Amino acid sequence: MNRVRWCIAALVLVVWTAGLAAQNLALSAERLDDRWIIRIDDRVFTVYRFGDGQKYPYLYPVIGPLSGRSLTAECETPYPHHRSLFFGCDKVNGGNYWQEGNEQGQIVSRGPRLVYAGPERIVLQDTCDWRRPGEAPILRDRRTLTFSAPTASLRFIDVAITLDALVDIHIEKTNHSLFSARMAPDLSVQSGGVLRNAQDARGEKNTYGVPSPWCDYSGRRCEGMEGLAIFDSPQNPWHPSPWFTRDYGFFSPTPMYWLTEAGFSIRQGDSLTVRYRVVVHSGDAQTAGIGELYEQWKKNCRQCITVIRTKT
């Protein structure tokens, strides 16, 4: 009975969405305590959460264009520390800025600012300190999040993060690292969803550790297919990145699990900038045109400078 009710509601939503396709979607932002709420035509799209007690800031929910439900999970087994869309890293100067336990390391927001608010896009900027309790921060990241909705079936989240090394930084080989997504259980491969990369390899077995410019996770709900893709910027130092993928719903473009024993270092005073695009879409990767969207984005990325800056 519950599923029937969901599907009836879905039909109403699909009719509403079809009518919306011919309209311009208006974005807005509102701050409530330790959250920035991003809305599309007055409906919640996502929320940037940055409370002092959190392990790190993250985005949740990330609402699908068809279902009206989150495509991502905030706290799901296995590994409930995966918070939807997030950025973190383990084994940074001996600290853990990934798993639960703030005493091991915490990424603390200084308070995000709304730097642009127009109907076509919303831009938030935040500065975060990577630190352990009672100690000075070792890293400071400066992040910009840009939200847009070009059509009724597409939403973009553009993420640019600059890591400033306040001391010499050394990252050991780790599978817990950088920008990541944890999908809702019903969209996972284990529940019938599809994980695929730009080469059309599918599932954890065929995408794990494989360099690719993008990966997409999509699945069927009674409202129809919808999913989420992550684009790895061609200016990221390790592009195309190998991917850490899991059939239970996790995926991340990260080189850190395939480092040599020497690890990865950033000298004090140097910076590293990484960029990603998140595409929230209806349909699967093919019908959403994820490959074509990546090529369009790549052309724009070439105009951006995203290299390691060495202090002179």
Containing 292, the helix (H) or strand (E) segment is helix 290-301
Note the pLDDT of residue 105: 97
Cα–Cα distances in angstroms (integers) from residue 198 to residues 14, 181, 210, in the given order: 28, 17, 10
Note the pLDDT of residue 198: 99
Residue burial 17-55, b: 16+ Cβ < 10 Å; e: rest: beebeeeebebebeeeebebebbbbeeebbbbbbeeebb
Note the pLDDT of residue 11: 43
Note the pLDDT of residue 301: 79
Which ranges of the chain have pLDDT less than 50? 1-22, 305-312
For the chain, list the domains and their CATH numbers.
2-301 (2.70.98)
Note the pLDDT of residue 303: 57
- pTM exceeding the 0.85 threshold for the entire prediction: yes
Report angle CA 84, 251, 286 to the nearest 5 degrees. 105
Cα–Cα distance measured from residue 58 to residue 86, given in angstroms and rounded to the nearest whole number: 5
Cα–Cα distance measured from residue 19 to residue 92, given in angstroms and rounded to the nearest whole number: 49
The token pair that represents 97 in the structure block: 């800025």
Which residue is it, tokens 């076509």? 120
Show Cβ contacts of residue 19 under 8 Å, excluding neighbours closer than 6 positions.
none
Note the pLDDT of residue 255: 92
